[in-house]
Amino acid sequence: MTVIDEMGKASAKAQNLPAPITSASRMQTNRHVLYILMDHDVKGSGKGAVIGFLKVGYKKLFVLDRHGAHNEVEPLCVLDFYIHESLQRHGYGKELFQHMLQSERVEPHQLAVDRPSEKLLCFLRKHYNLKETISQVNNFVIFEGFFANQHAPVRKLLPKRPEEEIKPYSLTDREFLKEEVEPPWPFNQSHALTRSSSLGNSPVRGCLKPFLNEQELLRNLRLCPPHAGAHHLLNGEPGGPAAQRRRTSLGSATIPSQDPSDLPSLSKSGVHPPNGALCSSEEPPVATQPEPTDRTEDPGIRAVAESKPSRQGAHTDRLPPWLGSRCHDAPWAPWGKQQSWTVAGVFHDAQWIRYKQEYRNTRPW
Ligand SMILES: CC(=O)SCCNC(=O)CCNC(=O)[C@H](O)C(C)(C)COP(=O)(O)OP(=O)(O)OC[C@H]1O[C@@H](n2cnc3c(N)ncnc32)[C@H](O)[C@@H]1OP(=O)(O)O
């Protein structure tokens, strides 16, 4: 977990991001797959050294085709990609990327790339001849050929009615980096909660975090085979760039493709309240069984929906505090069980306050 956190920090630094978009805790709350390229032979450490990583994941997106029509798709997305500075431009990125393509059984032009850096665009152009992009209104970049031979069915959306607002389609992983807004007192008092971005993804709340232990997390990582060359570079030894590049370009160090069936699928995680609790109803929530609505529009929620064989069960299983019987024992209520407030002249109880605090500004639409 520490290694993942450190890699995430290094990647964020390399991309000038204000905060990492890859961390162990984020890996626990989504279904992304992390490919790690390692050098097992590095000297001075029995455990080897990480050369870089590549994070991918399926996301439901709305993308425009060449004719400007919206298409609902769920492609594999490149979410984060980083090779250690001392090892860049030595072919390791290509090896890692190639390994991912084989494991995931996708073609490069079928990928969507989340806000690619200049370096990554150059990389894709050089190695995969991905040059022509299809303009999008979100931060994902897709390339010519994306709509050809799609594995997943591409569903065309009905034309948008002119009076409708433009929705923030296809939020990227990087959305959460946007500045958070401090709520006024008393809504800022509950430290048990992780505040959500005013514009970002589904909020991740401490009390709703899944129960994925370290073992499970580690099973979700996919390690590439050892790379015997990198320790030269890491240790500043001879056998440097030229040799490395040659080795890579000649393909003398090949990565056996892993059979995806051998690979553990990511544990599903992240629990979100059911649909009714998220809508803008002014009614205080009631402790009833929520409708098993399809909420797969939200990637985080999709993960939950898919993780449970029965959606009904999913909701009852881990009801959020204000919908379940556990609500009165909730540790987040520092004021006790039965206290209440008068907000703008209206009498409200702690449950209501909690509800309003959690769901204010988390859904811009
Ligand atoms: C969705 C996202 O993840 S966006 C973020 C992408 N990550 C970053 O920008 C982090 C910093 N960059 C890196 O970590 C790496 O450069 C990567 C991951 C983009 C590529 O990994 P590398 O090991 O360098 O790639 P590899 O050696 O296989 O291929 C090299 C090619 O990548 C591109 N490239 C790599 N570094 C650079 C650079 N500094 N400037 C321009 N192009 C670059 C070039 O096309 C280069 O070919 P060239 O050397 O002939 O010009």
Considering the domain architecture, whether residues 328 and 218 belong to the same structural domain is answered as: no
Average pLDDT of every residue of the chain = 65
Of the pLDDT bands very low, low, confident and very high (cuts 50, 70, 90), residue 150 is low
Q: Is residue 24 part of a domain?
A: yes
At 232, phi and psi to the nearest 5?
-60, -45
What pLDDT score does 201 carry? 35
Report the alpha-carbon distance of residue 181 to residue 186 in Å, rounded: 14
pLDDT at residue 46, as a whole number = 78
Residue 315, domain member (yes or no): yes
Q: Cα–Cα distance between 141 and 134 in angstroms, integer?
A: 7
286 versus 224: which is more confidently predicted?
224
Residue 154 has pLDDT above 50, yes or no: no
How many structural domains is the chain composed of? 2
**Residues 157-170, mean pLDDT to the nearest whole number:** 51
Dist CA 274 CA 356 (whole Å): 15
CA distance 280 to 67: 35
Q: Please check if 93 is assigned to a binding site.
A: yes
Pinpoint the alpha helices (H) of the chain.
2-14, 24-28, 92-104, 118-128, 214-219, 230-234, 241-250, 275-278, 299-307, 311-317, 350-359
**Ligand 1 center from residue 94 Cα (angstroms):** 9
| Percentage, residues of the chain above pLDDT 70 | 41
Span from the CA of 104 to the centroid of ligand 1 (angstroms): 21
Instruction: Based on the fold, state whether residues 61 and 131 are members of the same structural domain.
Output: yes
Mean pLDDT of 243-256: 36
Whole-number pLDDT of residue 215: 66
Question: Within this chain, do residues 126 and 229 fall inside the same structural domain, yes or no?
Answer: yes
Question: Is residue 25 pLDDT above 50, yes or no?
Answer: yes
Q: What end-to-end distance do the CA atoms of the chain give, in Å?
A: 35
Site residues for ligand 1, CB cut-off 6 Å: 14-15, 78-83, 88-94, 113-114, 116-117, 119-120, 122-123, 126
| 84 located within any domain | yes
Pick 38 or 333 by higher pLDDT: 38
Residue 197 covered by a domain: no
User: What is the pLDDT confidence band of residue 251, given thresholds at 50, 70 and 90?
Assistant: very low
pLDDT at 302: 34
SS3 303: helix
Summarize pLDDT for 277-309 with one digit per residue, the tens.
222 333 333 333 443 333 333 333 333 333 333
Res 344 pLDDT > 70: no
Is the complex ipTM higher than 0.95? yes
Task: Give the mean pLDDT of 108-119.
Answer: 96
- The pick from 84, 96, 123 for probing ligand 1's pocket by mutation, whose C-beta has the most ligand atoms within 8 angstroms, reads 123
- Together in a domain, 24 and 162: yes
Q: Does a structural domain hold residue 40?
A: yes
Pocket mutation for ligand 1, best pick of 89, 95, 121 (most atoms within 8 Å of C-beta)? 89
The token pair at 191 is 């430290």
Residues 37, 166 within the same domain:
yes
Range of the domain at 35: 2-177+214-262
Would you say residue 352 lies in a domain? yes
168 and 222: one domain?
A: yes
The closest of 168, 227, 232 to 202, measured between CA atoms, is 168
Integer Cα distance of 76 and 110 in angstroms: 7
Band of the pLDDT at 358, cuts 50, 70, 90? low
Residue 200 domain-assigned (yes or no)? no
Closest ligand 1 atom, CA of 125?
45
Q: Are residues 172 and 292 both part of a single domain? A: no
pLDDT given at position 230: 52
